[in-house]
Amino acid sequence: MINGSKDGSFILEEERILSEIRRRGCRRVLFQAPEGLRDQALRLARLVEEEFAIETYVSANPCFGACNIALSERFRIRADLIVHLGHAMIPGVGDENVLYIEARSSASIAPLLEKVSPFLRNFEKIGLITTVQHIHRLAEATEFFSKEGKKVLIGCPKGRLVYPGQVLGCDYSTMDSIEAHVDAFLYIGGGTFHPLGAALRTSKPVIAADPTSLEVRCMDSLKRRLLMKRYAQIIEAKKAKSFGILIGLEPGQMNMTVAEDLRRRLMAKGFRVFRISVNILSPNILMDFREINAFVNTACPRIALETPDYFKKPILTPEETLILLGDKTWDEYVKEAHEEKGP
């Protein structure tokens, strides 16, 4: 879900959308948006129809990121263009028929920075991270904390990331190059998923600051609680005799190499293993597989790490599966950075 400013304001680049449709000569356009931007997608669709008298569609399917671009949906309705709202492009995902509108928040972060300042009092060197909605505010945050005498660092993008300081739920690599040089990380953005993933990535404190609610919190306690839950999942999965390997079918979620490697490892230890292909996962879907005792998730890390309480059977990440098999220790898991196989 996308969290924006208090009045729901986003920078949606209407002129860019109209210009691109005009340039391409589109006759049919599909709008795709996550929760929080669906009404804006409707507004933009109406704007496009009024401007060009062409057909528009608005997808109601779940949209969790640029990893699940509606490519098959575009093919089925024969749309000339997907206008994807709320996410930056992921290199290698999607195609030339996708226009990414990042929907950056127009909310001011000035009140937030004032509120964050006391939380950073004991840290001299700060690393900044955020999602694409607030990426344009990092320069302002850098200037603010520099004036307070802090050394501010922002990591370079690589992998699935395109902006300095950007993080995704499956890629926190902008933290890597600066981790050894900072005392703490400040995450600017809404929700707990991204800052919690950042906290799992590092041994340094992670402070989360929400521009919408102006809430500021340290993620340490949430991190400890999550690690306890993850450890419990591993212990429960040790009782399993059969596993299902969840293989994501979305364009940016398919990790066949990882899935096959884990399948071979599990089978070598005597487990029965099934490959389970999936687009959108729900507890009811998994419960239908009564022969399977536990699952290994190689798709979106959100499935295993954000919603474990919704599923009645253990769902492990690839790293946790290695712990179960004895190929990695719990201490290594806690210390090591998660790659795109986990947050």
**What are the angstrom distances between the C-alpha of 112 and each of 36, 182, 186, 217, 332?**
21, 21, 12, 12, 35
Helix (H, G, I), strand (E, B) or coil at 10: strand
- What is the dihedral angle through the alpha carbons of 51, 57, 62, 66, rounded to the nearest 10 degrees? -60
Per-residue pLDDT of the chain (343 residues; tens, 9 = 90+): 555 433 458 999 999 999 999 999 999 999 999 998 999 999 999 999 999 999 999 999 988 888 889 999 999 999 999 999 999 999 888 789 999 999 999 989 999 999 999 999 999 999 999 999 999 999 999 999 999 999 999 999 998 999 999 999 889 999 999 999 999 999 999 989 899 999 988 999 999 999 999 999 999 999 999 899 899 999 999 999 999 999 988 877 888 999 999 999 999 999 999 999 988 777 778 888 999 999 999 988 777 666 666 788 999 999 999 999 999 888 877 755 433 333 3
The pLDDT of residue 340 = 38
Instruction: Go through the domains of the chain in sequence order and give each one's CATH number.
Output: 10-104 (3.40.50.11840), 110-218 (3.40.50.11850), 227-335 (3.40.50.11860)
DSSP bridge pairs for 11? 104
Q: Give, as one character, the DSSP assignment of residue 274.
A: E
Q: Which residue has the tokens 């129809």?
A: 49
The pLDDT of residue 4 = 43
DSSP bridge pairs for 166? 130
Name the token pair of 64.
Answer: 């969790």
**What are the angstrom distances between the C-alpha of 163 and each of 38, 156, 206, 236?**
25, 7, 20, 39
The pLDDT of residue 246 = 95
Alpha helices in 117-192 (DSSP H): 138-147, 176-179
The pLDDT of residue 299 = 87
Whether the Cβ atoms of residue 255 and residue 299 lie closer than 8 Å to each other: yes
The pLDDT of residue 254 = 85
The pLDDT of residue 308 = 60
The residue among 203, 243, 214 whose CA lies nearest residue 324 is: 243
The pLDDT of residue 7 = 41
